[in-house]
């Protein structure tokens, strides 16, 4: 959202200056948006201040140095010891315990917020840029260009997203960046459709016709007259899209097709430790809760934005 607003300020000149302030007030009045924003603020603080919050380096195998995982360690030192639910004073204190490789789980969960945030914003940013471009061209040009682009989008939408993403990752080779690219590609049609619909509803309006008559270029009309009007649905869709993108990339990482160990990514952390479920469930539950709350935050904010900004979509 913040990435998009700088471009907005310019076209709005001449209208009442409090348009965006009103929108913001509407959003903040929504209970769901408040909860969503609170969760996301927490996430952002966690991501920005990760080095200050984390008690250990997320990748250092500190538990091994402390002898917790050594084969000859005394039995009372072995097994999960989670400070949060009680840990004998004689043992090293780890807030959420340590993982199988002796790394501090709390620190890894904290650092994971950076990856998830970056994954969500970059993936959706990519999809929005390409999608809006395609949708704008389709809507503005019409005719066979429109047909060609939109039928291609229909076909992309005809695949279950994660399945198509897996097929794309197969070509690109597993990795976090490639997983993001795959999920980004799969998400393009949604934004293309939103943008095209906006363009179609606006391009024959008087003020657009007037701009054209004044000799403004097609690119200028798209950028200055049409894009600002399409922003609301794009912002709403984008916020909800971030939630979906984080979920899907985490799912790919869980399957071993996205982020690769030892990177502290929540999905991959759960995937790597899933066999510890029976004796150390916290290794799955802690990153699982972090992931769910992040997705919940974006979902709630998206719902709040939709209710506040787009009464037509009010459901």
Contacts of 31 (CB under 8 A, 6+ apart): 304
Q: Which of 176, 299, 301, 306 binds another protein (CB under 8 A)?
A: 299
Taking a C-beta distance cutoff of 8 angstroms, is the pair 154, 209 a contact? no
42 binds another protein (CB under 8 A): no
Which of positions 165-194 make contact with another protein (CB under 8 A)? 166-171, 173-174
Residues 17-36, interacting with another protein (CB under 8 A): 32
For another protein, which is the closer residue by CB, 139 or 267?
267
312 sits near another protein (criterion: CB under 8 A): no
The distance of closest approach from Cβ of residue 27 to another protein in the complex, given in angstroms and rounded to an integer, is 17
Cβ 303 to another protein shortest distance, Å: 8
Nearer to another protein, 132 or 268 (CB): 268
Q: Which is nearer to another protein, 93 or 292 (CB)?
A: 292
272-291 residues in contact with another protein (CB under 8 A) are 274, 277-278, 281, 284-285, 288, 291
Distance (Å) of CA 112 to CA 58, 179, 221, 255, 290: 9, 16, 41, 17, 9
Question: What string of DSSP letters covers 1-20?
Answer: -TTTHHHHHHHHTTS-TTHH
Cβ neighbours for 104, distance < 8 A, ≥ 6 positions apart: 54, 55, 56, 58, 62, 63, 94, 95, 96, 98
Is 155 among the residues that bind another protein (CB under 8 A)?
yes
| Residue closer to another protein, measured from CB, 202 or 286 | 286
Cis? peptide before 262, omega within 30° of 0: yes
Residue number, 219 or 281, with CB nearest to another protein? 281
Neighbours of 148 (CB within 10 A): 12
Does position 256 interact with another protein (CB under 8 A)? The reply is yes
Q: Which is nearer to another protein, 169 or 188 (CB)?
A: 169
Gap between the Cα atoms of 261 and 274, Å rounded: 14
Classify the phi-psi angles of 173: left when phi > 0, otherwise alpha if psi is within -120 to 50, otherwise beta.
left
Q: Which of 136, 234, 295, 308 binds another protein (CB under 8 A)?
A: 295
3-state class (DSSP) for residue 93: coil
Burial of 98 (0-12, 13-18, 19+ CB in 10 A): buried
Asked if residue 257 binds another protein (CB under 8 A), the reply is yes
Given candidates 13, 17, 52, 158, which one binds another protein under the rule CB under 8 A? 158
Interface residues with another protein (CB under 8 A) are 32, 151-152, 154-156, 158-164, 166-171, 173-174, 243, 247, 250-251, 254-257, 267, 270-271, 274, 277-278, 281, 284-285, 288, 291-293, 295-296, 299-300, 303, 315
């Amino acid at each position: 959202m913040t990435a998009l607003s700088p471009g907005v300020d310019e076209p709005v000149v001449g209208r009442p200056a409090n348009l965006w302030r009103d929108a913001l007030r509407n959003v903040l009045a929504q209970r769901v948006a408040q909860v969503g924003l609170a969760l996301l603020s927490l996430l952002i603080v966690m991501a920005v201040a990760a080095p200050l919050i984390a008690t250990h380096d997320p990748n250092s195998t500190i538990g091994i140095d402390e002898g917790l995982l050594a084969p000859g360690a005394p039995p009372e030192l072995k097994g999960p010891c989670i400070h949060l639910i009680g840990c004998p004073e004689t043992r090293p204190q780890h807030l959420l315990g340590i993982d199988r490789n002796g790394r501090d789980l709390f620190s890894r969960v904290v650092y994971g917020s950076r990856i998830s945030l970056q994954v969500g914003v970059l993936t959706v940013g990519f999809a929005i840029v390409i999608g809006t471009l395609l949708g704008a061209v389709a809507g503005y040009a019409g005719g066979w260009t429109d047909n060609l682009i939109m039928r291609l989008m229909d076909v992309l939408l005809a695949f279950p997203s994660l399945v198509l993403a897996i097929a794309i990752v197969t070509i690109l080779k597993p990795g976090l960046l490639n997983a993001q690219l795959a999920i980004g590609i799969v998400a393009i049609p949604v934004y293309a459709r939103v943008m095209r619909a906006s363009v179609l509803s606006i391009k024959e309006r008087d003020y657009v016709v007037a701009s054209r008559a004044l000799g403004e270029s097609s690119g200028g009309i798209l950028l200055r007259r049409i894009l600002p009007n399409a922003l609301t649905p794009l912002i709403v869709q984008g916020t909800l899209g971030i939630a979906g993108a984080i979920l899907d990339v985490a799912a790919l990482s869980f399957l071993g097709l996205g982020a690769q160990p030892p990177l502290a990514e929540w999905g991959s952390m759960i995937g790597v430790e899933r066999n510890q479920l029976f004796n150390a469930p916290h290794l799955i539950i802690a990153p699982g809760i972090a992931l769910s709350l992040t997705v919940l935050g974006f979902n709630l904010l998206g719902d709040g934005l939709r209710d506040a900004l787009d009464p037509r979509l009010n459901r």
